[in-house]
Structure 1
Amino acid sequence: MLDVFLESPVPALALGAVAATVAGLIYSANKSGMALAALVGVLLLTIAAVLTELAIETPHEQVVRTLSELFAAIEADDLPAVLAMVDPAASNVRSDAQTLMPEFHIETANANLREVTLTGSPPDTAVAQLKPFVLAAHRRSGMRGGGQDDLSVTLRRVDGRWLISDYSGSEVWQRGASELRRGK
């Protein structure tokens, strides 16, 4: 329940607005110092709640930030940055990145995040369901193409960082990339 208040400032602002309205109505009705103190207190508590929300990054927000940084690194064709976000034990993910990224110039890479499921207490594993869009050009042939695929990305918390440990998609895009590599 506390995560609702830590994921977004909207609940704190909404509750603060309702409480400030009630305190403001009470103050306007009787103009007492106690009612004014209550109104000021509500406003200060609302500000404190919003600042707390902004200062605390929940595991969900950390996963979302990691995925955003991953797609920014992919779009920048920054293989070292991508590899820094991959779990060292995830040899298949590392291999795909090391094999495919040098072969393509990425023009656009972004994703529509649909859902993040955290497991463990505290969370140490996350599965993100997303729909990425990648527009790339094959460096050797010059062929351009885009891809959208339902993608499931598994992340593990390692030394306080969320790292990509696996992924799976609804399409086997590696086959098409392999055909480009062979010149088909």
Structure 2
Amino acid sequence: MPTLIIARHAKAEAPAAGLSDADRALELIGRKASTRLGQVAARAGINPDLALISPALRTQQTWNLMAGAFSGVEERVVEDLYETHVAGMVEILQELGEVETVVMVGHEPTSSALAAHLAGPGSDKTSLQRVAHGLPTGTAAVIDLECDWASVGSRCGRLVTVLSGRDVEE
């Protein structure tokens, strides 16, 4: 069955006058955490086939730094990932074809809400608690789905872990 990795972008610069939200870049610590998150995922045996990425600069940068840990990943910028809701993310997933492992790089609070929505019986309790408080920047929820992409819906997966790239030095 498929695997979904729901990654939240790493730490970005604070909102500022004259800077659109979509144009906020990663801070140095966010760049380090993004690289580390890719390495942590690869060491856990995860190698995505497809990356779905929000068009925001910080998500693009997060993925570009994570991607160094993987090989052969198809990348798609998905406009609807920037400002959407759980149902919108589910629709995106339901349109996927034959692909085994997908990483979706997006934003809060929708990323953690999607992880909670998909997490069903057998999910890791510690990971569920982490997701309930929101995915911190530079982390990713890993969900093993018990359905195909076209059937993705509420409680159709098992939240197995939350990976973090946050243990990096300033």
Settle same-fold status: TM greater than 0.5.
no
Report the TM-score, using the length of structure 2 for normalisation: 0.26
Report the TM-score, using the length of structure 1 for normalisation: 0.25
> Between Structure 1 and Structure 2, whose CA radius of gyration is higher?
1
Q: Which has the higher helix share?
A: 1
Which structure is higher in RCO with an 8 Å CA cutoff and minimum separation 6? 2
